[in-house]
Amino acid sequence: MAVKKNPAQRVEQLREQIRFHNYRYYVLDDPQIPDAEYDRLWRELQSLEEAHPELISADSPTQRIGAEPLNAFGDVRHEVPMLSLDNAFDDGELSEFDRRVRERLELDEVEYTAEPKLDGLAVSLLYEHGILLRGATRGDGSTGEDITQNVRTIHSVPLRLIGDGYPARLEVRGEVIISHAGFQALNERAQQQGQKLFANPRNAAAGSLRQLDPRVTARRPLEMYCYGVGLAAGGKLPQRHSEILQRLRGWGLRVYSGIECVSALQACIDYYRKLEQQRESLPFDIDGVVFKVDRLDLQQQLGFVARAPRWAIARKFPAQEELTRVIGIDVQVGRTGAITPVARLEPVFVGGVTVTNATLHNEDEVRRKDVHIGDTVIVRRAGDVIPEVVSVMADRRPENARAFVMPTRCPVCDSDIEKVEGEVVARCTGGLYCEAQRKEAIRHFASRRAMDIEGLGEKLVEQLVEHKLIDDVAGLYDLDVESLAGLERMGEKSARNLIAALEKSKQTTLDRFLYSLGIREVGDATARSLARDFGDLGPLIDATEERLESIPDIGPVVAKHIVHFFQQPHNIEVIEKLRNARVSWPVTEKAAHQPLQGHTYVLTGSLSVMTRDEARHRLQQLGAKVSGSVSSKTTAVIAGEKPGSKLAKAESLGVAVLSEQDLLQLLEQ
């Protein structure tokens, strides 16, 4: 019989397990347990600490967030100054650094550690007896700000070191960053909440660390990578910088895994070139490579000059932000019709290339950043990412600067540009005709729930458009075996199969045809409602917004999209070409009586007499709505064999449950 641990023992055991799994996840990037198991350990520890508050300690994993908001940050005097680095901007300056080092040391060759220069905020962590005591910013190098309560919220910062052998007082230095993925998620959340977007990951990281309320910092996706030690008292460290970094990793601190030891100048240049090529595939921003003399005794021999060490240098990448002038603002049309304002710039060299255009994202962003034609702006480019206008130098605005005016007609196809109230993006309404949207329109038209054209995949669509074999979706029905067989990976047999699939697709249903047109917000369910209500295409084309809004589940936004789509002559022209190609569907009379209109059903489990798709179709013919989720508004859940969680939810909400036999009786009645 297992002996039950007392609460204190179990709490300590759980803390050790969580620290270990944090180490596997944040330091080694090699988790051993799934998230669900980690959450279970966390909840058990949290429950025990709530039941036994006397067992709570500052280094417990549950205590990362707890401090009250501050009025201001206190000052921290660095016991060992946090010095900056000299920079090398080309191979010649790096060569001069290596020459000076070798001459001072009277050596023919020196070994360096080579590591990425992360673009974040330098931070110092002070541990006493393995427990995090304080976190501080670099500040001016001598004095920084006390940000202890904020660094405690960063999960890659251990509140307590693991293992043993660490000095009694250990000050670790590193960079706090936000990854590319974290930055994207942060800005998406800000946009959804109507908040100001961050300009770049570095600004986001710096602003997050300087929040007076740690609860705000805890919601930001901050990470930390350690790159050195400032103070080590009451213990010994290895005598090589590279070995110290390995020791830090062993104590649970995160260190970049791609750090290397290199000998001689050419190896330094090779590492720089390698990292320059990898730069855009890294999960975070870097702005160069740092080279440090690896042996600590040689570092001490070289010493310092002014505010920088003689034994280290940062070989910088080309600048990613520069100043230039906006000479015009055009708009581009994306593959889904999105209209994007683009600034035309006086050419400027940014991030290794000459930039002449930069995205302004959307009309609201142009207004928020207050970009005028003639303005001097800061432009940012990160590798292959499209350059963007970061901000405007308002004090340099000339008197003749002009505000941007969003066009009302698509510059590609001359269709109306539509912007629905409450939405950020404006769009071209010529979806079937607009050249910019051609590939996306064809891909959607051929998809399974639309015209279901077997064999017409994305790669083939690209070839058809790029070889100018079709101008719009109607052109699919003018293709022949000869023109198709000449395309890459086609051949005569594949070409004949596609022609047969195109011929078969001509016999369709009105709801599939409506869905294939790609009208905004008109999914397959809405298309079915429209087909059921109108019976044929003609009455729908002539329908007003008020008439459309009389149909259940069609609100003013969808109604406006439908009317705008059919108002575009180009779209009507394509539809007529499709009808001339003999695309057809059975015309149905609108049901005089739909007994299940206003009722909502949910299907779960497998049915024996008919498929769930058939049951859905039969219910919809009688006016019912068939939903994929259960709510208090659900009329009934129809449960077949082996029903899923929907049945349990229905029972918990008191929603009626029908058997397959009940369904058959309902349909017969």
pTM value? 0.53
Write the pLDDT tens digit of every residue in 287-343: 899 999 999 999 999 998 767 899 999 998 876 778 899 999 999 888 778 899 999
Q: Where do the CATH 3.30.470.30 domains begin and end in the chain?
A: 87-316
> What's the mean per-residue pLDDT of the chain?
87
Q: Residue 352 above 70 pLDDT?
A: no
| pLDDT value, residue 633 | 85
| Tokens, residue 271 | 């590492």
Q: Residue 29 above 70 pLDDT?
A: no
* % of the chain surpassing 90 pLDDT: 41
Q: At the topology level of CATH, where does 434-590 sit?
A: DNA polymerase; domain 1 (1.10.150)
Write the pLDDT tens digit of every residue in 509-528: 999 999 999 998 888 888 98
Give CA–CA dist 190/221, Å, rounded: 13
Q: In the annotation, is 117 catalytic?
A: yes
- pLDDT band, residue 51 (cuts 50/70/90): confident
- Place domain 7-61 in its CATH homologous superfamily: Helix hairpin bin (1.10.287.610)
CATH of the domain spanning 87-316: 3.30.470.30
Q: Where do the CATH 3.40.50.10190 domains begin and end in the chain?
A: 600-668
Give CA–CA dist 137/70, Å, rounded: 16
Q: Where do the CATH 1.10.150.20 domains begin and end in the chain?
A: 434-590
Give CA–CA dist 157/226, Å, rounded: 9
| pLDDT value, residue 383 | 53
Of the listed ranges 2-11, 54-63, 433-442, 638-647, the one predicted with least confidence:
2-11
Kind of pairing between the strands at 656-658 and 636-639: parallel
Give CA–CA dist 483/490, Å, rounded: 10
Please give the average per-residue pLDDT across 266-274, as a whole number: 95
CB crowding 445-473: b at 16 or more within 10 Å, else e: bbeeebbebebbeeebbeebbeeebbebb
| pLDDT value, residue 362 | 87
Give the residue, 271 or 664, on which the prediction is more confident.
271
Of the listed ranges 56-60, 202-206, 469-473, 621-625, the one predicted with least confidence:
621-625
Q: Where do the CATH 1.10.287.610 domains begin and end in the chain?
A: 7-61
- Place domain 321-403 in its CATH homologous superfamily: Nucleic acid-binding proteins (2.40.50.140)
Q: Where do the CATH 2.40.50.140 domains begin and end in the chain?
A: 321-403
Longest dimension (CA), the chain: 100
CA angle 525, 334, 563 (to 5 degrees): 45
CB crowding 494-526: b at 16 or more within 10 Å, else e: bbebbbebbeebeebebbbbbbbbbbbebeebb
Please give the average per-residue pLDDT across 74-95, as a whole number: 89
CATH of the domain spanning 600-668: 3.40.50.10190
* % of the chain surpassing 70 pLDDT: 96
The single residue of 4, 117, 577, 649 carrying the catalytic annotation is 117
| pLDDT value, residue 2 | 47
Kind of pairing between the strands at 600-604 and 625-627: parallel
CB crowding 343-367: b at 16 or more within 10 Å, else e: bebeebebbeeebeebbbbbbebbe
Give the residue, 107 or 51, on which the prediction is more confident.
107
Give CA–CA dist 646/473, Å, rounded: 40
The three-class DSSP label of residue 366 is helix
| pLDDT value, residue 1 | 43
Please give the average per-residue pLDDT across 359-373, as a whole number: 90
Q: Residue 651 above 50 pLDDT?
A: yes
Give CA–CA dist 543/159, Å, rounded: 65
Nearest to 450 by CA among 519, 511, 541, 502: 511
Write the pLDDT tens digit of every residue in 573-602: 999 999 999 999 998 765 455 688 778 888
